[in-house]
Amino acid sequence: MSTPSRPDNANQPTLSARSRLATMRARVVLMLQKLSRVVRSVLRTAGLRLLHLWRASLQFRVIASTMLLGLVVVVILGSYLYQRIADGLVNDRVLTARAEATSQARAAQARFDSAGRTDTVSLTQLAFDVVGQLSSPGADHSREVILTRAKNNTGAASVPTVLSSDVGLPSVPDELRNAIAADPGHQQVQVISIRSSDGAPVSAAIVGSRVNLPAAGQYELYFLFPLEREQQTLRVVARTFALGGLALVLLLGGVAYVVTRLVVDPVRRAALVAERLSSGRLHERMRARGEDDIAKLGKSFNAMADSLQNQIRQLEDLSRVQQRFVSDVSHELRTPLTTIRMAGDLIHDSRGDFDPSVARSAELLHNEIDRFESLLSDLLEISRFDAGAAELEVEATDLRDTIGRAVDSTAALAALRGSRLEVIPTDGPCVAEIDPRRVERILRNLVVNAVEYGDGCPVRIELAINESAVAVSVLDSGVGLRPGEAALVFNRFWRADPARARTTGGTGLGLAISLEDARLHQGWLDAWGEPGVGSCFRLTLPRRTGVPIERSPLPLRPDEEPSAAGLPDMTGNRPAAPSGGAQT
């Protein structure tokens, strides 16, 4: 027997509806996730901005704190006052309600006492009449009335509970009924919550007392006074408080803004003037009018600026005199040096005719005259920089040619020292607007130093270009630099080892001049070195004059980038943690 098979498409609609539902749910979940991400990022950004503003602006801090404290005070004071007003209104109403209830209960008792017939029907009719009369719906102060048999009334005759409206007997709290039962001679009051005609919850004062119905015994008579009016008044009071509080907080914020501006503005001006002073505009002064604290600050600040300016002027004068002296001395020395040079050359040329000891002296004299000449020309160059007389002669130059010339002029020295000069080839031209004479001088100095302090190891010269700059690095694997020395090498006449013999006649001014040349180009000259590992000097120049360098296309430390890690080939070991770099 075969079971009847269900057609395949029988549950198709259910399946597709389900899958559509699932897709929709997934979409909604995705949208909610996206929304929550956006909200979170907006909140984070706003929070960060506020935090930044809080940290950066004294004015914002003062205004925000004042407004926050103002808000706290307004809320506390407002709540207290509101409570007092609410209590006063309710108490007043309860007092009038009690008085009303007393007189109305008395009037009701009088009606019941004067009732002629005491059968149930007549009494019930009378009860309805009395309740109808006692309640006054639609009047200014509406009140509801409930007449109900007392809890401990066990008499035979009974009048049903009479209500003036749909406020039912359950609205009367048990506590109140028990209190009346316990003390029938006295009126009892409570404030309860009932539903108004439109269903909204409303407070009401309920006043209960006892009346005596002829033949039917003790009955409880309740008057309900809705506190709608009082609540309305309280709503108006709350709204007024809220608006008044808000206005007060805003006003406080405004006052704080004005007051802080009075204080913060002069402080900001002082900060601006101090910034300008520190950037070299020594004639900048603060406005110091009046006799107040800000004026005193301004006066002291200006006095400080005056004294600073005087001292700087004196120092500048002194430095100018010194520069002038160096320049004059160098110039004055040129003429006698030329004569000494000529005489020295003559003696040097005829050294073959002298005793070996005199010939050696002639040799030494010749070398020292060479050194003297280089020192003099370096001193003159430095004094030109100091006097601000050095000028760039810029032309678009391919740095590969400049490197080529510098390498050619140092090749003889490198050969003498047994160093190989390795120029890493570049993909294309590296053209920049530079002064080729000065850049060649920098590179020559760097290469000579690398050969001299490279202990015969190869010297690697690398060239690179990026959007804003061209850079040349000269890397050697020689003595290197001790920690802190990378920053000192650019000082005039600074030498790591002053006693070191110099065959090419280094003056101790080479890197100082190179640094001035780099600065003239608005470029950087950086040094890095590690003892026993080697040194790297990197020159970075802007590609176009006046366009600042964003970053150097070459690393300073050999292990900074994989592309620059060529040291293992040359030294056999790569520095583990290079240090001692300095940018100038």
Check residue 453 for interaction with ligand ADP (CB under 6 A). Answer: yes
Check residue 74 for interaction with ligand ADP (CB under 6 A). Answer: no
Tokens of 169: 């007997």
CB 452 within 8 A of CB 502: yes
| 193, HSE (Cβ side, Cα atoms, 13 Å) | 3
| CA angle in degrees (0–180, nearest 5) for 453-458-461 | 90
Rounded to whole angstroms, the Cα distance separating 406 from 9 reads 87
Tokens of 149: 């048999």
The residue among 410 and 445 lying less far from ligand ADP, judged by its C-beta, is: 445
- Residues ≥6 apart with Cβ < 8 Å to 465: 426, 430, 432, 471, 543, 553
Check residue 581 for interaction with ligand ADP (CB under 6 A). Answer: no
Q: Which stretch binds ligand ADP (CB under 6 A): 36-44, 278-286, 380-388, 502-510?
A: 502-510
The residue among 506 and 523 lying less far from ligand ADP, judged by its C-beta, is: 506
Q: Give me the DSSP letters along 527-560.
A: EEEETTTEEEEEEEEESSTTSPP-S-SS-SSTTS
3-state helix, strand, coil in the chain (%, to 5): 55, 15, 30
The residue among 436 and 506 lying less far from ligand ADP, judged by its C-beta, is: 506
Check residue 511 for interaction with ligand ADP (CB under 6 A). Answer: yes
Q: Give me the DSSP letters along 450-494.
A: HHHTTTT--EEEEEEE-SSEEEEEEEE-SS---TTHHHHTTSTT-
Nearest distance in Å: CB 536, ligand ADP: 8
The residue among 97 and 459 lying less far from ligand ADP, judged by its C-beta, is: 459
| 365, HSE (Cβ side, Cα atoms, 13 Å) | 18
Check residue 535 for interaction with ligand ADP (CB under 6 A). Answer: yes
Q: Which stretch binds ligand ADP (CB under 6 A): 145-153, 158-166, 401-409, 509-517?
A: 509-517
The residue among 305 and 457 lying less far from ligand ADP, judged by its C-beta, is: 457
Quick note: the x/- pattern for ligand ADP over 288-307, rule CB under 6 A, is --------------------
The residue among 347 and 488 lying less far from ligand ADP, judged by its C-beta, is: 488
Quick note: the x/- pattern for ligand ADP over 235-254, rule CB under 6 A, is --------------------
- Residues ≥6 apart with Cβ < 8 Å to 412: none
Nearest distance in Å: CB 265, ligand ADP: 50
- Residues ≥6 apart with Cβ < 8 Å to 52: none
> Which element (helix H / strand E) includes 256?
helix 228-278
Check residue 111 for interaction with ligand ADP (CB under 6 A). Answer: no
Check residue 146 for interaction with ligand ADP (CB under 6 A). Answer: no
Helix, strand, or coil here: 421?
A: strand
Check residue 528 for interaction with ligand ADP (CB under 6 A). Answer: no
Nearest distance in Å: CB 478, ligand ADP: 5
Quick note: the x/- pattern for ligand ADP over 460-499, rule CB under 6 A, is ----------------x-xx-x-------x----xxx---
The residue among 221 and 459 lying less far from ligand ADP, judged by its C-beta, is: 459
The residue among 320 and 502 lying less far from ligand ADP, judged by its C-beta, is: 502
Rounded to whole angstroms, the Cα distance separating 147 from 567 reads 109
The residue among 365 and 375 lying less far from ligand ADP, judged by its C-beta, is: 375
CB 457 within 8 A of CB 419: yes
- Cα–Cα distances (Å) from 342 to 338, 368, 378, in that order, read 6, 13, 20
Cβ-proximal residue to ligand ADP, closest one: 506
* Cα Dmax for the chain: 172
The residue among 171 and 449 lying less far from ligand ADP, judged by its C-beta, is: 449
Q: Which stretch binds ligand ADP (CB under 6 A): 212-220, 275-283, 448-456, 576-584?
A: 448-456
Total residues interacting with ligand ADP, rule: CB under 6 A: 20
Nearest distance in Å: CB 494, ligand ADP: 6
- Cα–Cα distances (Å) from 300 to 309, 312, 314, 369, 560, in that order, read 14, 18, 21, 56, 49
Interface positions with ligand ADP (CB under 6 A): 445, 449-450, 453, 476, 478-479, 481, 489, 494-496, 506-508, 510-512, 529, 535
